[in-house]
Chains A and B, each alone.
Chain A
């Protein structure tokens, strides 16, 4: 099931009129433990819990009267409470957090010029266009974890990966110097042979040739690793992403498909 079709259980810690409040240290330990597991937790005072009620909500609290569907916190034991929350999630078939690292591009439409370079570049079908032929992220979970390569081809630094280590890709303010650097990266990519994928194809062809001449698998493997390290540095692409790319023919097919999608979208844009 795609990530966007999944629903998540929300936990509400009710500390309103009908529930005794937790000690501050207990509250912190419980909320922190649930957040570490990826859950959303609301602390509700002054009757806010009633507003939060719903099918995907689990109420926790030290209630003065037992409530149907709510989890009574008696003896304070974080592990037991977390187990109860996990059971409720499992029963409700809610999203199991942590199975996917949320790594995907976020578009800054204040900067985006709809040039379609990202759509043309991405081999994994992350991007698409809406009815108005505007670029959008359509398949978040197709994105390759820790790979910010598409943000490198964006001439406006409009593509962010909020979990990236450095600005402006992480969402930090874009500077003139950043824009110059981004342009340089695109140029480097062009100098290397049009784009990183065509470079990869060429290197793969050369590697094939070496395989047949040398029949030395260790040497060939070392050469391949050396090439991948160079590519990874050029586009800040994690080596494991490059290692997992499909066969050269399939890369070419996908690259042409992506380019055709981008050209069609550009052709449909109002002049």
Chain B
């Protein structure tokens, strides 16, 4: 693991503003916890929209070292970034899935200082 991953991880929160697939109460609770904290964070209206626009901000985020992303499925997030030419760091990225994790679990992981990398590494098929 490189030195860049030793610093406090950056925090990115996706509001998935243009769909109702992430439970509203989970999004609200996670955002509330973020706003209650002393942490700097980036919050985006919709990661999909940014990927579609090839927003250069995604490259800055992907290149900035360790990062925690509260959004949806890690496989989807990995390839949304990759589609813009901004691959996420395999060993320095943890995706918190607000579609399936509880608000407490999601905000707990998002604000924890350690990173538990969970991007899919290659083709994975579950039994």
Contact = CB atoms under 8 A, between A and B. Distances in A.
Interface string B54-92: 110100000000000000111111011011000000000
Contact of A3 (B36, B52, B77, B83): B52
A182 to B, nearest CB: 12
B18 A173 contact: no
A108 interface: yes
B18 A106 contact: no
A141 B126 CA distance: 32
Nearest to B21: A163
Contacts, number: 153
Interface residues of A, number: 56
A31 B35 contact: yes
A171 B127 contact: no
A234 interface: no
A129 interface: no
A27 B13 CA distance: 15
A270 interface: no
A24 B17 contact: no
A110 interface: yes
A40 B44 contact: yes
Interface of A: 3-4, 6-8, 10, 24, 27-28, 31-32, 34-46, 48, 95, 97-98, 100-104, 106-111, 137, 140-141, 160, 162-165, 167, 170-176, 179
Given A3-B53, A36-B15, A106-B80, 11 more contacts: A4-B54, A10-B57, A31-B43, A35-B45, A36-B17, A38-B18, A42-B40, A102-B48, A109-B79, A170-B73, A174-B126
Interface of B: 15-19, 21, 28, 31-32, 34-36, 38-46, 48-55, 57, 72-77, 79-80, 82-83, 99, 120, 122-127
